[in-house]
């Protein structure tokens, strides 16, 4: 199991954008399986998508290869295409405006550099079991803050 990758599914959800939000993750490796979720009272969907991945990577106790699935094109394009350009431009987009959610992108960049991650986009709400579970957990995150 030394080189066996961890399979991660992440999702973020928001009721209103901004509004109450939640994130959910599943992590599996061999016979090990974990689920995590939390909510925030005032956030955005993109912040929850990014937070989900950060929290998933924080759950790893040491550097591991990972196969990560998300239904967020924003996340996959950001980490695989846009991030190097943003960093080179001092965390500014092509139009010169500051990168939105730069605090989370910087945290994700730092955490992702520790692991060998394969990033995969999956269509949301399309019956992919891991994605459906991450979505359900993200919604539990929202419910966890609604009293």
Query: 49 among the known binding-site residues?
Result: yes
Report d(CA 145, CA 147) in Å as an integer.
6
Among residues 74, 70, 58, which one has the least CA distance to residue 10?
70
Query: 135 among the known binding-site residues?
Result: yes
Query: 42 among the known binding-site residues?
Result: no
Query: 95 among the known binding-site residues?
Result: no
Residues with catalytic function: 11-12, 49, 71, 125, 135
Report d(CA 95, CA 73) in Å as an integer.
20
3-state secondary structure 98-139: ECCCHHHHHHHHHHHCCCEEEEEECCCCCCCHHHHHHHHHHH
User: Which residues are annotated as part of the binding site?
Assistant: 11, 49, 71, 135
User: Which residues are annotated as part of the binding site for Mg(2+)?
Assistant: 11, 49, 71, 135
């Amino acid at each position: 199991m030394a080189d066996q990758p961890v399979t991660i599914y992440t999702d973020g959800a928001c009721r209103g954008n901004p509004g109450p939000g939640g994130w959910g993750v599943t992590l599996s490796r061999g016979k090990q399986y974990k689920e995590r979720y939390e909510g925030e009272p005032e956030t955005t969907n993109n912040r929850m998508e990014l937070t989900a991945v950060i929290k998933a990577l924080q759950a790893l106790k040491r550097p591991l290869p990972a196969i990560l699935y998300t239904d967020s094109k924003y996340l996959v394009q950001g980490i695989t295409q846009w991030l190097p350009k943003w960093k080179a431009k001092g965390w500014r987009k092509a139009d010169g405006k500051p990168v939105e959610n730069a605090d989370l992108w910087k945290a994700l960049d730092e955490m992702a550099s520790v692991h060998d991650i394969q990033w995969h986009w999956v269509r949301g709400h399309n019956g992919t079991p891991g994605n459906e579970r991450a979505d359900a957990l993200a919604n539990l995150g929202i419910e966890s803050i609604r009293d």
